Each structure stands twice: as C-alpha cells, then as structure tokens.
Structure 1
Amino acid sequence: MGRRQRRQQQQQQQQQRRGRGSGGWPEGGYADIVKENALFERYYRALGLVPAGEWARFMAALREPLPATLRITGYKSHAKEILHCLKNKYFKELENQVVDGQTIEMPQPLSWYPEELAWHTNLSRKVLRKSPQLEKFHHFLVSETESGNISRQEAVSMIPPLLLDVQPHHKILDMCAAPGSKTAQLIEMLHADMSVPFPEGFIIANDVDNKRCYLLVHQAKRLSSPCIMVVNHDASSIPNLQITMSGRKEILFYDRILCDVPCSGDGTMRKNIDVWKKWTTQNSLQLHGLQLRIATRGVEQLAEGGRMVYSTCSLNPVENEAVIASLLEKSEGALELADVSSELPGLKRMSGVMQWKVMTKDGQWFEDWKAVPSSRHTQIRPTMFPLKDEEKLKALNLERCLRILPHHQNTGGFFVAVLIKKSAMPWNRRPPKLPLALKVKPEPQPSVAVSSETGEGDVVTEAKGEDSLAKESAESKKDGVCGPPPTKKMKLFGFKEDPFVFLSEEDPLFSPIQTFYALDPSFPRINLLTRTQEGKKKQLYMVSKEIRDVLLNNSERLKVWLAFLLSAWKPIYATVLPGLLFRPWP
C-alpha cells in the first residue's frame, strides 16, 4: 500500500470515528437548531410584555422565517418610476404562478410605510434563484439592488428614520450607523427636494468598527450624496466638532440624532437562528451600561429643540425602558418623551411598560436594587430597575415608548423611543456670567481631552502645544489642505494616510472637466478635493460647503481614513459622491 493510500485510509477512519461521511459532512447532515429556550420563555412570560391570550401566537411567529422585505431607495422621482415598474410589470407576472406545487403569495406593501415604497413577500432566496418562472424577477431585483435602487431591509429597521422627522436643513448624527440601511433612508430624506442639489443639512455617520465602516460607505456610495461623511469612533465618547457660524467657530450640535445602539438582538430570532441557543439575560445586563453611555452622549450633542430616536432590536426592558428612564431622570426635565402614537398610522405597536424585574443568567429574580447582594453589584446596576417613586415614574411617560411584537404584523421584534431636548443637560449648563470687574484671567491648565462630559457651554482649555499646532496648521487650511496634525505621524496597517486638499479657484485641473461636461460657471469648484498635495491629481472628490466647513475646522481631531469616488462624473450635482471616511486623530 502506497503512502497516499495509507493517508486516505487514515482520513476515512478519522471521519468514521467523528461520525462524518466521506465528504467531511456529518452523516445525515447537520442537525437543525431547536427553536426552544426555556429561560427565554420563563423570562418574558413573567414580564408580561405579550398581551394575555397571545403568547402562543407570539412564540409561533418567532419560530417562523422572517418575510423578505425590500425598500425602494433613491430620490423620490426615480423611486416612483421603480415602483411603477414593479407593480405594473414584475408583480403582475407573479400572479397565479405555481412553484413546487404552491401558488405564490403576491408581495404586499407595508401599510405604514409612506407612498408604498416598502414591500414584503414570503418568497425565499432559494425559490427566487432556482425557479425558472421567477428568473426575470430575480434578475431585476439583483440588478436594481446593485445599482442602489432597491435595498433589502428588515421592516422594523425602517421605523427609526421615519420617526426622526428629517428636513433638508437638519444636521444629523447617526451614532451606530453600520451597515447603513438606516443611513440610506436619512440621505433620501435629506434630498427630499430634488430641485436643491446641495441641501443645507448633512449627515455624520459613525461606527466603532472600521471594518463595518466599509459596509457603511458602500451603502452611502450608492446614493451619491455630497452631504455625508463617515467617522470611525466609539459612540459613547464621540468628540465635539466645530463649525463656522456667523464668522466664528462654535460647537456643532445636531438637529437630529439616530441612536440605534448595540443590543442582545432577541427581536431578531426569526432571522438569526443562533439567538435561540445563545440567548441569556446576561447579554442584556452586560450591554445596559454601554447603551446608557451612548444615549447620554447622544443627548449631550443634541441641539435644544432637537429630536433623538433611541432604538434596539431587543424586547428586553433592561435595554429599553430602563435606559430611557435613567436618561430622563438624570436630565432633570431637560428631556421628554415625544408622543408619536399618531405617527405612522397602520403600524401596530405596544406601549412602553412601567414595571419590570431583573433576572440573572441562572434564573434568579430581583425586583429592587436594595435586594441585590454586594457580590452581584458589578453585574447588576441601580439604573436597571424602575423608579420606586410612583409620581416620578408617572412623570416619565414611559408608555410613550413603542414596542413592536413579531406576531402583530409578521415582523421582527423592535423597540423605539423618541426624545425631545427642551434645554441643556444639567451638567452642561453654562455658569452665570460674571461682571467684567470680577473676571479674572485663569492660569494656563494642562490639556483637557474631549470626552463625553464635554458638551453645551463647556470651555475646554488647550495646552500651548495644541495652540501652536493650530497656528502651524492655519496656513495650510487657508490653502484648503485638510490632513493630520503636522507634529504627529501615524501609520495604520502600514500605510500613511494622505491629506485631502481642496481645489483653489485658480487650479487648472477643473477647467477641462467643466468644459467637457458643460458645467455651469456657478458650479462650486472650491468643494472639490484631491488626495495629494504633490504630483498628478488622478481623482476628484465632492462635498457640500457644510461638509467642507466641518473638514477644515476639525482636521486635528479627525484622521482621514479613506475615501471612495464614483467611477465617472455626471453633470448632476447630487450624483457626485464624497464618500468620506474618517478616523479620530489621537
């Protein structure tokens, strides 16, 4: 017997001992994940989130596959053309089609989504790919998805951007944006008026994971908006940015903030099957603190009168009402929950709860922080419990939160709360102004890093090193150069990032492009930029004047990470993509 034959025989013997066939797969295939979790059922039965008599329907819905949902993306005029094509051509071709002996259910519009721009269907990817009768429809969906005209997005994921009430002039922060489906909705709302190629508003989309930022840029890239930039930062400590207002620098406060925080995800059981075997209350207990820190940082950066939407794909009150209640309590009246019961008519929802309990991963219940033994104080925190003062609890209006249950409209589970900021947060309020005679020039202080405690009205004293750094970079900013601080050099993955250099009015690079595309003389060429100060400029990027202002005012705080560009220029302003991705400069 040769060496190769002996090796093959040994491999077969090992596979047989492991219960695997000749192909390496388990004999009989992998066992299906059992959609049972006794602790999950015990926990949610005890909390009473599901109305009486609906528990069986609730659990049955969780065990069913999630319907595919698609949203027609892009700007309104084009989206309506795609909708007309879908309804009058492809959906009609699906009528009375039989696949595997079953008549295909026709796609239906989501009753609560405006203008029939979102649809759901029970057609699986397997059926779409392998059925000859659906080949044309499948090819249409693939091509339109690649071009950005159609996006597969879970139905409940579409709710938070709709409740933000975005207007074209709003400055928007998306705190945990990746993979970017909600960000895409925000871009569409920003460009609601197609006659305005450069809205006054803009979107700063953030995610802590730089790999997920690539997905985020890919999503934003398809919509070709010059009014978005992507930053890579921890949302719980995202720094304050500066903008120019009336000729002077001011801290940037956002009109709208989307705070879709990381969560345990037990509302996604229908599509993430692993949640069934991995679910435990420990996940919620570990995430509560992070969720509260992110939400707190969000409201610090929210402008007075602004709106922030907090959302999770979890049903757990520890991640939902507990976070909102703690935020409202420490705001001392600066925040209030908005009543959105009349918004999105047709959406079935449950009101937020006023009372809940906390359970450990081993099934032990606690109804009050005082009952928690000191050995568990690092695991369970006071902010996880509802307030004991009935009057204070009632004043929070937690019933204005909304919870989406899967069996009500054949969706995933979700939670949303809409917060309105009435005044500055207590720890950010300005001290009373002193008379001129009492003002004393303070002694120079050490450098103070921007943190989550820096917010409205806070004065940050910078060290002399940073002052000199600002002076050194002032000249380069005059020339439109936006790059990392000259005194620091940082290499990421072995590559040194090049700066963004804005084109001057006299730069000869743009003239041939203007002539070729017959661009109007009013085209804002100063909003064009390149990635090099020396040598041949091979690529041009486009931003709005507001994003340009953010770039030039914050180059020492943000490190340019990478950028994307459309492969070809188009003579429509709104189709030129900036696609900027930033990383904070340490």
Structure 2
Amino acid sequence: MSRYAVGAAAVRDYCARYRDLIDDWPAFAEVIVAPLPTCIWANPARISAAGLSDLLAGEGLVSQPMGWQPTGLRLAAGVRAGRHWWYCAGLAHAQEEASQLPVTLLDLAPGQRVLDLCAAPGGKTAQIAFALDNRGTLLANDFAPERIKALVGNLDRLGVVNAAVTCHDGANYPTAAGQFDRVLADVPCTSEGTLRRNPDQVRRLEGQPSERLAARQRALLRKAVQRCRPGGRVLYSTCTFAPEENEFVVADILAELDGRLNLLPLQVPGLTTAPGVTDWRGRRLDPALEQCLRLWPHQNDTGGFFVALLEKDRTLPCEPDAVVAAAEIEPGDREWLEWTNARFGLSSEAWSAWRIHRQTRRGLHLIAADLAAPAHPRPEGRGLFFQRTNVRPTKLTTAGALLFGPHAQCHRLELDAAQRDAFLGRKTLTPAPAQVRDLTPGQVLVTYRGFALGLAVWHRSGELESLFPRRWSGCTAGSDDAD
C-alpha cells in the first residue's frame, strides 16, 4: 500500500466520527483525501476579478469565478500562487475558498469600527480592510508575536493603510480599546477542515480532543461579545468539524448572556451549505442553533468551515469611547516627502486620503486619514511602512512602491517577462536603451504590464540594481497561507 493510500485511510478513519452528521458520506470520503483547488481573491484596490482572470489567462493559468464571492477565483489544485509575480505585486491574495466566507457574512461598510481578534496571517484582515474601503479604523490582533510578522507582511504587500496591529491575548483584550461595530473571532481550533491541504496533521489530531480547546474558544467569543457595541455583530468561525468547538461554544455563550445576544440566520446564495448541529453525542441544543452555517468539503469542493453570526442587544448601555493614540511626526518629516514627490512626479492628490506619522527611527508610516487607533493596547504598528529616512537618499519601501506606483508620473521603468523574473530574483540586469530613454540615474519604480513591482536603482553604468526585499525574493512569502 502506498504512503498516500495509508494517509488517505487514516484521514477517512478519523473523520468517520462525523459520519452521522454528513448527508453524503461516500462523496465526503472521496473529497476529503483529494487535492484542494487553489483559491485567490483579487485586490479590489488594484485590479478587478475579471481583470485578474484575464491576466492569469495570459500567463497560461485557467481560473473560474467563485460566483458567491465577487472577487474570488478558483485555480487548479497545485498552483502555488505565491510564486507568481502578480502575487508579489499585491494584485491578489491566496486564501482557501471556505476561509473567505466569514468576512463576506459580516455585513461590513465604510465608517464601521472593526476588530479582528485572531488576525494572523492576515487574509481575512485584508478582506475587512477593503470592505471598509481602506478607510476608518480596523484593529488586527494576534496573540503570537511570531505570527505578527506574517500579518504585517501581507497587509503591506496588499496596501492596507486602515489597520492598526496589536499583539495581545484576545481572551483578555482590554476595555480601553473601546467597543466595535463588528468583531471577527476566527478562533484557533483543531483545523480538521484543512485536512485536504495537510493530511499528515491527522496524526496530531488523534491526540488532541476538541474539548481541550473549547474553554479557550469560549473565552475568545465571550471577549468578542464584550468588545462589540450594542446593536453590533460578532462573527464566530472555525475551520473544524467538531460540534464541541462550534455549536457547543456558541450555545454556551448564548446561555451565559441570557437574551442579550441573538443568533442570526445565515445563507449564501451560490454556495451549498448545511445547518448547524443540534444533537451530538448525548447533548441536545436549542433548535435555533440550526441557524449556524456549516460548509462540508464535498458540497462545494472546498475545505470545511463553521460560522455563526451573533447580534448584541441594542438596548444595552454603551461603553466610553477609546482614547486615541496620537499619530506623531517630527520636525522635518514632511520634507522627506518632497524628494519622493519630485523624483516620481507625485501630486498632492496622491496624499489626500492619507496621513504620515513616525513609529520608528527607520522611517515613516502611512495611515488612512480617519484611522483612530486606541492608545491601549499599544499598537505594534499602524498603517503601512512606506518610506525609509535612515538612508541617503531617502527611499520608498517595496510596500510604498506598490502603493504609489499607479500615481507615479516619472522614473517608471517597464520590464519584459525575463527582466521581471530577474528583478524579483534580486539579480542585476541591463535594460535596453529605449527602456531608459526618459530616466536619469538613481531610484526608479519598476513595473510589469503597468503594475508596480518595487524599487530599483539605475546606475550610470547602465545596470539596474534590484531592491526587491530578500525576504520576498522568489515570491514565496505567504504562498501557503490558507488563513
């Protein structure tokens, strides 16, 4: 028997505990060991889903629209999105289809104040940011410092400027942060719904009963409700099948709050879903728990997911507003922008929706003009690190170059496909004379098919030195995030 066959048998054996909950066990058993399609969503700030689909077709990649998710596209299983130039350019983010469901159901709109309680690696956070039109206040929190780096990296690549990142225990998120119109609690779980992506994890799951995580999940949902404004909404989600981590957790919090929290019905046109479980291993729940939503892998050829949408009683008293952290600048900070404006022909209109502020000695951050992050918990970062001032001459970061690329009027250098790959691989290249006819030596914004890729230095020798970040080189950063 092959190693794959042994793994497939182990996955099916493990999932057999849910056999009575699944409407079509043979279909489930077949799909749960099949490769998962690659799914991405188009960054609405940079390209439409139709435009991205056409671009992919030109690269020889066939894509299909998701239908229920307007910016989402399906690619063939095995496509490594993170290894492609369009991913590095922040035109798209790789995120499993089922994982794109929670943000779609949050009923987001510009002007809302939103908390993503367990945010890393950042795909859902970025979805929220763009649903808010990249304006206003979004707090992206995660408990693990090592995951914050991936979170910030994804937000920078995609050009998110309305988020403040905090590193705090979500179950004890401070009252000083204020209350929010929407809270996403996509909590840590046993991740059974991701077995198609990583079947080897079944060995870990066999020794990790769901009950062990339930207390933590209840604490996170409880805090999410506390941080929600009266009349606001909390979305609780997991990527696991276990009722102990899903319906049981929701039922326990509903009972604790005794009428101060309402479970809302859910449906997603274009997506086949199942209702919440109300009878499992001797525990019967209120029939209202059927209003939760389950996504079984065989229904839409996805991973597995669970979602519950809760609304807080609007007659409850509101808490005081949070004290806002100051967005400080130092004398002379605005002068750094003059060089950048002059070099790349940026107009004052390019800055109209943003504010600059200094977080570190390294340089300047850009935030949405109306971002009002709380002073506590202290933000690890706000907005996007866009310009280094600790070097001479000052220079845009790669994230800054991606953001400002569409606004630049001069010192843009369009590459061909071979040059693009050399640039992304941090190799030195020599552009043709026609490509550099309108350039003067120094920093240039590098583009491909009109989309910004980053920053380079064109030397008097005729060579182009790539400044693409070493940690992004090869376009592998974040390529495997299911998020």
With normalisation by structure 1, the TM-score equals: 0.60
In the alignment, structure 1 residue 302 sits paired with structure 2 residue 231: no
| 1:524–1:407 CA distance, 2 compared to 1 (3 A) | closer
Partner of 2:130: 188
Which of 124, 132, 140 is 1:205 aligned to?
Answer: 140
Matched-pair contact (CA < 8 Å) for 2:112–2:137: yes
Matched-pair contact (CA < 8 Å) for 2:164–2:383: no
Query: Within 2, Cα distance between the matches of 1:35 and 1:325?
Result: 33
| 1:566–1:550 CA distance, 2 compared to 1 (3 A) | closer
Matched-pair contact (CA < 8 Å) for 2:137–2:373: no
In the alignment, structure 1 residue 119 sits paired with structure 2 residue 73: yes
Partner of 1:558: 378
Which of 14, 28, 47 is 1:40 aligned to?
Answer: 14
> Secondary structure of the equivalent of 1:113?
coil
1:56-78 Cα distance to aligned partner (Å, 9 max, x none): 11111111111222222242655
How many angstroms does 1:29 deviate by?
A: 11
In the alignment, structure 1 residue 416 sits paired with structure 2 residue 307: yes
What is the letter of the counterpart of residue 540 of structure 1?
L
Matched-pair contact (CA < 8 Å) for 1:336–1:421: yes
In the alignment, structure 1 residue 352 sits paired with structure 2 residue 276: yes
| 1:523–1:351 CA distance, 2 compared to 1 (3 A) | closer
How many angstroms does 1:563 deviate by?
A: 8.6
| 1:457–1:69 CA distance, 2 compared to 1 (3 A) | closer
What is the letter of the counterpart of residue 346 of structure 1?
G
Which of 66, 80, 88 is 1:146 aligned to?
Answer: 88
Structure (1/2) with the larger strand percentage:
2
In the alignment, structure 1 residue 291 sits paired with structure 2 residue 223: no
| 1:573–1:174 CA distance, 2 compared to 1 (3 A) | farther
| 1:184–1:44 CA distance, 2 compared to 1 (3 A) | same
Query: Within 1, Cα distance between the matches of 2:122 and 2:308?
Result: 20
Query: Within 2, Cα distance between the matches of 1:347 and 1:407?
Result: 12
Partner of 1:155: 97
Query: Within 2, Cα distance between the matches of 1:107 and 1:563?
Result: 32
Matched-pair contact (CA < 8 Å) for 1:36–1:277: no
| 1:281–1:317 CA distance, 2 compared to 1 (3 A) | farther
| 1:565–1:331 CA distance, 2 compared to 1 (3 A) | same
Partner of 1:528: 356
Runs of 5+ consecutive residues of structure 1 not aligned to the other structure: 1-27, 95-105, 129-137, 192-197, 243-251, 358-366, 368-384, 388-392, 431-455, 460-469, 471-476, 483-500, 577-586
Query: Within 2, Cα distance between the matches of 1:346 and 1:172?
Result: 27
How many angstroms does 1:144 deviate by?
A: 0.5
Partner of 2:159: 224
What is the letter of the counterpart of residue 228 of structure 1?
A
Query: Within 2, Cα distance between the matches of 1:165 and 1:213?
Result: 26
How many angstroms does 1:259 deviate by?
A: 0.7
| 1:212–1:33 CA distance, 2 compared to 1 (3 A) | farther
Partner of 1:584: none
Q: How many residues align?
A: 390
Matched-pair contact (CA < 8 Å) for 2:112–2:182: yes
> Secondary structure of the equivalent of 1:185?
helix
How many angstroms does 1:36 deviate by?
A: 2.7
1:437-474 Cα distance to aligned partner (Å, 9 max, x none): xxxxxxxxxxxxxxxxxxx5499xxxxxxxxxx9xxxx
Partner of 1:69: 39
What is the letter of the counterpart of residue 326 of structure 1?
D
Partner of 2:363: 539
Query: Within 1, Cα distance between the matches of 2:27 and 2:349?
Result: 61
How many angstroms does 1:84 deviate by?
A: 3.5
With normalisation by structure 2, the TM-score equals: 0.72
Matched-pair contact (CA < 8 Å) for 1:174–1:183: yes
How many angstroms does 1:305 deviate by?
A: 1.6
How many angstroms does 1:402 deviate by?
A: 0.9
> Secondary structure of the equivalent of 2:209?
helix
Query: Within 1, Cα distance between the matches of 2:235 and 2:407?
Result: 28
Query: Within 2, Cα distance between the matches of 1:210 and 1:239?
Result: 18
Which of these two proteins has the greater Rg computed from alpha carbons?
Answer: 1
1:247-297 Cα distance to aligned partner (Å, 9 max, x none): xxxxx2111111100111111111111233333374301001100100000
Matched-pair contact (CA < 8 Å) for 1:335–1:423: no
Matched-pair contact (CA < 8 Å) for 1:226–1:574: no
Query: Within 2, Cα distance between the matches of 1:172 and 1:60?
Result: 39
| 1:561–1:345 CA distance, 2 compared to 1 (3 A) | closer
**Structure 1 residues 342-421: aligned runs within 5 Å:** 344-357=268-281, 367=282, 385-387=283-285, 393-394=286-287, 397-421=288-312
What is the letter of the counterpart of residue 8 of structure 2?
K
Partner of 2:109: 167
In the alignment, structure 1 residue 330 sits paired with structure 2 residue 256: yes
Matched-pair contact (CA < 8 Å) for 1:241–1:550: no
Percent identity among equivalent residues? 28
Query: Within 2, Cα distance between the matches of 1:521 and 1:86?
Result: 29
| 1:521–1:310 CA distance, 2 compared to 1 (3 A) | closer
Structure 1 stretch displaced more, 291-300 or 514-523: 514-523
Partner of 1:433: none
| 1:64–1:39 CA distance, 2 compared to 1 (3 A) | closer
What is the letter of the counterpart of residue 335 of structure 1?
L
What is the letter of the counterpart of residue 119 of structure 1?
L
How many angstroms does 1:509 deviate by?
A: 3.3
Which of 261, 266, 269 is 1:340 aligned to?
Answer: 266
| 1:207–1:522 CA distance, 2 compared to 1 (3 A) | closer
**Structure 1 residues 447-458: aligned runs within 5 Å:** 457=319
1:82-119 Cα distance to aligned partner (Å, 9 max, x none): 234335x34xx56xxxxxxxxxxx532223222xx322
What is the letter of the counterpart of residue 378 of structure 2?
L
In the alignment, structure 1 residue 108 sits paired with structure 2 residue 50: no
Query: Within 2, Cα distance between the matches of 1:234 and 1:269?
Result: 27
1:316-350 Cα distance to aligned partner (Å, 9 max, x none): 11110001111111111111111122xx3110000
How many angstroms does 1:518 deviate by?
A: 3.7
| 1:575–1:217 CA distance, 2 compared to 1 (3 A) | farther
Partner of 1:24: none
In the alignment, structure 1 residue 86 sits paired with structure 2 residue 56: yes
**Structure 1 residues 507-526: aligned runs within 5 Å:** 507-511=331-335, 513-514=337-338, 516=342, 517-519=346-348, 523=352
Matched-pair contact (CA < 8 Å) for 2:184–2:236: yes
What is the letter of the counterpart of residue 187 of structure 2?
V
Runs of 5+ consecutive residues of structure 2 not aligned to the other structure: 388-395, 409-483
Matched-pair contact (CA < 8 Å) for 1:325–1:386: no
What is the letter of the counterpart of residue 170 of structure 1?
Q
